[in-house]
Amino acid sequence: MWVIELKKSFLNKSALIDQIEKQAKVGYWVLQLATETTIWSEGTYRIYGIDPGKPSPSKTEYFQLVHPDDVEYDQRLHEHMLEAFPEGQIMAEIGGKIVGYATSIIVQLDDETQYYTYNEITGSGTFSTHDPSGDTLYGADIAVHPDYRGHGIAGKLYVYRRKLMKRYNLRRMVAYGRLPGYQHYAGKITADEYVNRVQSGELKDPALTAHLKAGYLVKRVLYKFFRDDFSMNYCTLLEMPNPDFSATKRRIAASPIQRPVRKFRVCVAQYHLRRIDTWEEFENTIEFFVDTAATYHCHFLVMPELFTAQLFSTFPRDWDDRRSVEELANMADRYQEVFRQKAMQHGMYIIGGSHPIRRNGKIYNVAHLFSPAGNIYTQDKLHITPFERRVWGIEPGEGLRVFDTPLGRIAIQVCYDIEFPEVTRLLTLAGSEVIFVPFSTDEKKSYFRVRYAAHARAVENYLYVILAGNVGNLPTVRSYLINYGQSAVLTPSDFSFPLHGIQGEAEPNVETVVISELDLSSLAQQRDTASVRPLYDRRLDLFELRAKQKIDVVRVE
């Protein structure tokens, strides 16, 4: 990285440019920081160009300015950026102090630009997606130190980018801009209305106003392209066409960045509770569902709530309900080991319904997630029905968890929990795309209470909700005499989803499975572009939803 120092005496713009060109190395672009009038009272102007063979002594300071919390990690990250496309990374320095920077890469994007994510375009910030044969300059990041804003630095950074675009004969320049000023208007006007007012000059936004002055055009307002609390997670899709672009001179040698197709297949059990005499019979039934899921190449198998209550029929008939639940809790290790082995054997994620777990002398109804690596993750049932409290002595659980699997972020809400919309919304805002609902209901009214609530959660939050339930009866078990259920895969209600918002469902009250594929890529697009956007159009000026306890995002391995 090399440096040019410009004395303040160069107040004539053309003379200044001549001096820059004399000092600049051949083949590299420079940034013009000086204007026709003096802005600062002392010091010189320094312009950074890129020379990979000569590391700059100010590189560490640059990293500290950009990401002060983790210098070592970010230094390595920015080294990746410099190696990928050194000409696209520039810094501005005044009097020995770094006051601004801009980063960019060349990529090939398709026409559906609004559907890309930052990580897709930038290779999770490493710039590994840089493609010299692409036709789009992507402005990844730009910033000016707060103490030096309003002096035209950002404009000069944009000038450099425009020159870069023309030098490489790129069709356009694309960026996604923050809206930090929107936090003062959220709830009063929509993000689109705010952008329109900034464009008309009625309002000013620290970021968007600078983009508009630079010549960008607003193509679209996006939600959750990246996380930014100051912008209320909104941003603008910006585009600047290159008026000098020559399509005939540019040979496109690479295809657009391919978005990962995020799909996975689920097998949803509808479990028939019937009398058994031994643990081996119970395990054989589990084997049937696991083998079925494996035969149909499913990534997830979902079992119902407390289906292990089938083991009640192996206990002495004179035991009361609480004693039976206590004994079932004593079998937790055996239950966990069976599913752990099955998950490892078949390379499958298994949501093993729920099972009573004893902690500190109390019994909890706990859902389990078993991973192909042999790890076990749990989610307590949070809301306990009067029957569970009174008859079985089950206590309300603790904690909200989102499970970050390689296939997508999921969460588990056990039966009654899905009837509390606040919980599902919190899990959605924490990143959940699929909610698995193991349930157990005795008759139709109970079932439809869960079913209608679950479908409402799918519509409200634009996510998939998976219901897995018990059917059949246990004539000798007083607390599990009858069961009614219909396992189902529920979706939001819009053009991209099935007409009735049901992607698959079983015939009621028979032992079977539902097998369905969930398209998370389409789901993510629909959250932003569907006929209605419940996550986008919330009235934050009228209400607020906050978790009183931290929602744990658990990495599943």
Q: Would you call 381 a catalytic residue per the annotation?
A: yes
* DSSP secondary structure, 246-301, as one string: -GGG----SPPPPPP--EEEEEEEEEEE---SSHHHHHHHHHHHHHHHHHTT-SEE
Catalytic residue from among 235, 267, 298, 415: 415
Q: Cα separation of 496 and 206, whole Å?
A: 37
Q: How far apart are CA 366 and CA 394, in angstroms?
A: 10
User: Tokens standing for 84?
Assistant: 């990928």
Of the candidates 156, 235, 298, 305, the residue annotated as catalytic is 305
Q: Are 453 and 441 in contact (CB under 8 A)?
A: no
d(CA 214, CA 121): 22
Q: How far apart are CA 426 and CA 553, in angstroms?
A: 12
Name residue 472's beta-bridge partners: 273, 483
Would residue 235 show up in a list of annotated catalytic residues for this protein? no
Cβ 443 vs Cβ 471: under 8 Å: no
Q: Would residue 305 show up in a list of annotated catalytic residues for this protein?
A: yes
67-to-60, 149, 171, 434, 539 alpha-carbon distances in Å = 10, 19, 31, 33, 33
From 381, 388, 433, 505, the catalytic residue: 381
- 273, β-bridge pairs: 472
The dihedral sign for the CA sequence 386, 391, 397, 400: negative
* 91, 281, 361 from 336: Cα distances, Å: 55, 17, 19
DSSP secondary-structure letter at 392? I
Q: Which residues are catalytic?
A: 305, 381, 415
